[in-house]
Amino acid sequence: MRAALLPVLLLAVIASAMAVAYAKHQSRRLFIELQALQAERDAMNVEWGQLQLEQSTYTTHGKVEDAARKRLGMKIPETPQLMIQQP
């Protein structure tokens, strides 16, 4: 009885050891992937901040007014051209 049980237990120990090695490998692989994704997230956050800063410089009053004058040919109306509407 003991002699028949020994190969089964040996096989179970080997299978368990292989499962532990596989799980450890998967854990390391997923951790490396996590670190890469976190680095990508951080780079995207930096880029997002730069884009927000760029957008804020393009939407300043002076830039908008300059674009309206040059590209659209707009100008501030003269006093006689103004009409005030009463509510």
Say what the pLDDT of residue 41 is.
98
- Alpha-carbon distance 36 to 30, whole Å? 10
DSSP category for residue 81:
G
Say what the pLDDT of residue 58 is.
81
Say what the pLDDT of residue 59 is.
80
**Residues in the chain where the model's pLDDT stays below 50:** none
- Alpha-carbon distance 66 to 57, whole Å? 13
Say what the pLDDT of residue 19 is.
97
pLDDT tens figures, 63-83:
888 888 898 898 888 888 888
- Alpha-carbon distance 26 to 32, whole Å? 10
What is the number of other CB atoms lying within 10 angstroms of the CB of residue 53? 10
